[in-house]
Structure 1
């Protein structure tokens, strides 16, 4: 939901702790409470004991709760999407508790969960299996170690890989670049790469000190090719690190995916031909909550005969979400292709209905 002006504290208190379904529908996604006596924040319907009114602070977003210094409640888990599949939530929590573990189907079964049921549930919710997610988290841990200057072997062990060759191969499959090559370039890098977590999957960001050059979901098949082009463009000086545009992009993605703000102001550097950049600029004029067809987009840029070329330019976009290629659909209303996965495209379009 979009943020709105909160009513007075007494009205917030009465509405938040009204347990009727009608009240829950009115406050869900719109109102959160921070409890000063415990330092936690909760969503409506939390089963924890009702606090005193004088210990409550009221917020219109999760982001505001976090920025005010409150921790997420472990009972109502306000950081998780409303209505999340309980099985997905349970396994995700197990992963968070032991991120370096080399999860197997036998481990899933040992929790009393049928592995095939888990696969289906995770594919529906996240577009990948639980084991895929666990492997990605382990690689993320290794990525973080390398960024801090750790040896490749230490990053490998942190990621839970027994063999160096296995770690290097997994890392190279994900990014198309060997870990030691990225790490070696970090000291003199013109472009830096880092990992950004989001509720719909991890993303890789590449930026210099002033602008963002790439923002892609880590499991996008085209990511290694895109990184290779950027690396070639700076003659190999693409390393690991964090810059201000990445922090800004992460904060804006957090607000966007929480349903709070669909505006993006992170400075971007676009790598493409004049035609592709024209298409990308047109994409950024499509309001959140609206979709257009490829032919609509071609007419927008004054090239009604270039629908196929527009589609190719749309697919070549390497700034996901901020340049909203997910808002372009087939003329018949079908979702058509999306490099980040059709499940994400559907999720983004559904999220943006509230922005409309």
Structure 2
């Protein structure tokens, strides 16, 4: 929300002048004279007190019409994991079979409390829960390629088969033996110029890519698990790694087409609508009416709009390229200002090429 408390505004302004890193992510400063917003540590020339207003989240600054500063990159850096957290995550990925203790974190000059707070705020789970999910995902992948349960359990750091089986079933909702012929949904996080996103994938491909502050996102997760009859746990696979690379290239203006595999179950009508979305060229716009006509169902404008709304894979399936017949921006789950930014981004890079 827009900050209106006078004392807090004065406090935030002093923090902005001092480039106080303790306020990163606490406020976003919108500069009225430039229509740009920044985080506390921005190196740009500071605005006069009367020319700045403060917001609680970067999305509120976007919704108010401000653009992210190109110097401090507020939507990226305010949500970027701090160095200690990056080191902790690296320890997990480099040692997927080992439980990383507080003692080991301290040995690597990592403060356990900092890591715990960050995971609780940005993932909604504890660092230890994240570790358990990552280790179970590693075990799941090994079981899928034929490794036996006993060796997998001990190699993953469990001292007993029963302890491994209990944790495995608690996370995946199936025993190790039963899950061999099933799949799971892996979830990971990536940072973009428009804010952090969650990305989900099965072995078949990417099934979700959404901004973390999208309304009803938790409901969307529940619906996805129910539809696919699979559990979501933290981890990654080749599809997620490829999608992260391609999304990064997209935001850098280096990629106009995506090649990562997608897995997007839906009704026949939804599939037809989503396929039509993928046919809209980079940098081009269409309308819901034109989209309905394109699928030979000219009277299904409202149904097409609803199907677009059920698209769970933002950007890669580009529903941001669809606007109203009157030229107005309409119906984007990530927020209309993000939709406007994506349209301008593609327009600018189309012109450059």
CA contact (8 A) 2:185 2:230 kept: no
Residue 161 and residue 196 in structure 1: after superposition, are their counterparts in 2 closer, same or farther (change >3 A)?
closer
CA contact (8 A) 2:287 2:324 kept: yes
CA contact (8 A) 1:282 1:297 kept: yes
Residue 254 and residue 151 in structure 1: after superposition, are their counterparts in 2 closer, same or farther (change >3 A)?
same
Q: Offset at 1:118?
A: 5.4
State yes or no: 1:161 paired with 2:117: yes
The equivalent residue for 1:28 is: none
- Residue of structure 2 aligned with 1:214, choices 201, 208, 213: 208
The equivalent residue for 2:316 is: 322
The equivalent residue for 2:243 is: 249
- What SS class does the counterpart of residue 334 from structure 1 fall into? coil
Alignment of 1:1-356 (within 5 A): 103=26, 108=40, 117=52, 119=54, 122-123=61-62, 124-126=66-68, 136-137=79-80, 148=92, 157-159=113-115, 161=117, 168=120, 171-172=123-124, 184-186=132-134, 187=136, 188=140, 190-233=184-227, 235=229, 237-353=231-347, 354-355=349-350
Residue 215 and residue 336 in structure 1: after superposition, are their counterparts in 2 closer, same or farther (change >3 A)?
same
Residue 179 and residue 267 in structure 1: after superposition, are their counterparts in 2 closer, same or farther (change >3 A)?
same
CA contact (8 A) 1:142 1:156 kept: no
- What SS class does the counterpart of residue 328 from structure 2 fall into? coil
Q: Offset at 1:247?
A: 1.7
Residue 183 and residue 277 in structure 1: after superposition, are their counterparts in 2 closer, same or farther (change >3 A)?
farther
Looking at structure 2, the residues matched to 180 and 311 of structure 1 have their Cα atoms a distance apart, in angstroms, of 41
CA contact (8 A) 2:200 2:207 kept: yes
- What SS class does the counterpart of residue 119 from structure 1 fall into? strand
Q: Offset at 1:277?
A: 1.1
- What SS class does the counterpart of residue 197 from structure 1 fall into? strand
CA contact (8 A) 2:75 2:194 kept: no
Looking at structure 2, the residues matched to 151 and 255 of structure 1 have their Cα atoms a distance apart, in angstroms, of 36
CA contact (8 A) 1:192 1:206 kept: yes
> What 5-or-longer segments of structure 1 have no aligned partner?
1-89
The equivalent residue for 1:5 is: none
CA contact (8 A) 2:75 2:193 kept: no
Looking at structure 2, the residues matched to 275 and 151 of structure 1 have their Cα atoms a distance apart, in angstroms, of 50
CA contact (8 A) 1:141 1:159 kept: yes
Residue 141 and residue 280 in structure 1: after superposition, are their counterparts in 2 closer, same or farther (change >3 A)?
farther
The equivalent residue for 2:34 is: none
* Number of residues of Structure 1 aligned to a counterpart in Structure 2: 253
| Deviation string, structure 1 residues 215-240 (Cα, Å, up to 9, x no partner) | 11122113222222233345553211
Residue 247 and residue 103 in structure 1: after superposition, are their counterparts in 2 closer, same or farther (change >3 A)?
same
